[in-house]
Amino acid sequence: MTDKLFQPFVLNEKITLNNRIAMAPLTRCMADDSLVPTQQMADYYARRADAGLIISEAAIIRPDGQGYPNTPGLFTQEQIAGWRKVTDAVHKNGGKIFAQLWHTGRVAHPHFWKGEFALGASAERLEGTVPRMRELSYVTPKPATKQDIAQLVKDYAQAAENAVEAGFDGIELHGANGYLLDQFMHYNVNTREDEYGGSAENMTRFPLEVVDAVADRIGMERTALRISPGAYFLLEGDPRDRQVFEYLLSELQTRDLAYLHIGLFDDTMEFDYLDGNATDFVRRNYTKTLMGVGGYSAETGEAAISNNRFDLVAIGRPFIANPDYIERVKSGQPVKAYSEEMLAELI
């Protein structure tokens, strides 16, 4: 395997990665019933510490952000202590780890926190049921009031501070894949008529408020963001979304995020309203550090980096199947194929 991938990569003055391969954030639903990361999770992440950067599975910022069983949290002291075991184990093995901060918005289910409603951008219900829990149909969300939004911004900043207290090197805001922040940025599910809806500037207001509040708390150099300009999961695209993301990217261009990450399962997907794939759309509108993802191998990731499509590559499913992924690709050994049954266990 080639040199470029395995050279250190400087994110900024504070953070240098050992190589350009990141482990993508991968929800595993293995936290305990208080949403505390376990020793098994610490061992699982520690085995992968030779990735240039580990991005943790998404961690919810507060109880009403939960949309799936046993996803870890970052809002109690017990959860912070659980994550401390994870970050210590990764650091001991020479790695770096960011926490992905998550609120699922309308994809949350009140069943999980014994609440009455889920919050969303607008009262647009998601069809269907919670995975693995067919009895739980999604509910029509309560549109977040301005007061709710102000509280959410504070809660994201607090979760970021908790992440630093837990020993994370930084955080990645989950602004992708149809969850809360993304719900504000797509016309399909944001039908608001106040200053958080109806125009590119308004629809990006809440996500940018969150970026800035988190950066104020822990530093822009420790703050990253994941976005999905092309809608492909849990909501639908609208041609007008393009302007929203052009505006978002112009705003992000004026900030110095640690990196920007694209939320995708398959980077060959084309979106009419982006004139092609999401990665090239972002690259045309944003010149700072970009992480690509979606169906890559080390070889194809390296080629994309050489072609300047992005700077870092995130690898997801192959990391579930291969704890020793980095060693395998470095030494040219075959990589085990991923299959869904592997989700049952943390190897």
Question: Residues 118, 119, 125, 128: is their CA dihedral positive or negative?
Answer: negative
CA distances from 113 to 108, 109, 309, 322 (A): 10, 8, 41, 34
Respond yes or no: is residue 259 known to be catalytic: no
Six-digit token string for 280: 């090239």
Say how far apart CA 68 and CA 73 lie, in whole Å: 12
- Smallest separation (angstroms) from ligand 8K6 to the CB of 104: 9
Per annotation, catalytic residue among 179, 187, 296, 325: 179
Q: Which is nearer to ligand FNR, 25 or 167 (CB)?
A: 25
177 vs 279, beta carbon nearer ligand FNR: 177
Q: Are 47 and 324 in contact, with CB atoms under 8 Å apart?
A: yes
Do 289 and 259 touch, CB atoms closer than 8 A?
A: yes
Q: Which region, judged by CB under 6 A, interacts with ligand FNR, from 25-33, 76-84, 152-160, 163-171?
A: 25-33
Q: How far is residue 143's CA from residue 151's CA, in Å, rounded to a whole number?
A: 14
Which CB, 192 or 328, lies closer to ligand FNR? 328
Least distance between ligand FNR and beta carbon 69 (Å): 13
Residue 233 interacts with which of ligand FNR, ligand 8K6, none, CB < 5 to 8 Å by class = ligand 8K6
Ramachandran bin of 87, using left for φ above 0, alpha for ψ from -120 to 50, beta for the remaining angles: alpha
Q: Is 264 in the site for ligand FNR (CB under 6 A)?
A: yes
Count the Cβ atoms, other than its own, within 10 Å of residue 80: 21
The residue with its CB nearest to ligand 8K6 is: 27
> How many Å apart are CA 75 and CA 62, to the nearest integer?
6
Q: Tokens in use for 97?
A: 């780890």
Which residue, 143 or 160, is less far from ligand FNR as judged by CB? 160
Residue 125 Cβ vs ligand 8K6, minimum distance, rounded to whole Å: 19
Q: Which of 131, 148, 284, 339 binds ligand 8K6 (CB under 6 A)?
A: 131
For residue 87, which of 172, 170, 173, 6 has the smallest C-alpha distance?
A: 170
Q: Can residue 29 be called a binding residue for ligand 8K6 (CB under 6 A)?
A: yes
Residue 205 contact, options ligand 8K6, ligand FNR, none, Cβ 5-8 Å cut-off depending on partner type: none
Q: Does 236 bind ligand 8K6 (CB under 6 A)?
A: no
Interacting partner of 132 out of ligand 8K6, ligand FNR, none (Cβ under 5 to 8 A depending on kind): ligand 8K6
Residues 170-229 that bind ligand FNR (CB under 6 A): 174, 176-177, 226
CA nearest 170: which of 245, 95, 103, 229? Answer: 95
DSSP state of 298: H
Active site residues: 179
Residues that bind ligand 8K6 (CB under 6 A): 27, 29, 68, 131-132, 232-233, 265
Residues that bind ligand FNR (CB under 6 A): 24-27, 57-58, 100, 174, 176-177, 226, 263-265, 293-296, 315-317, 343
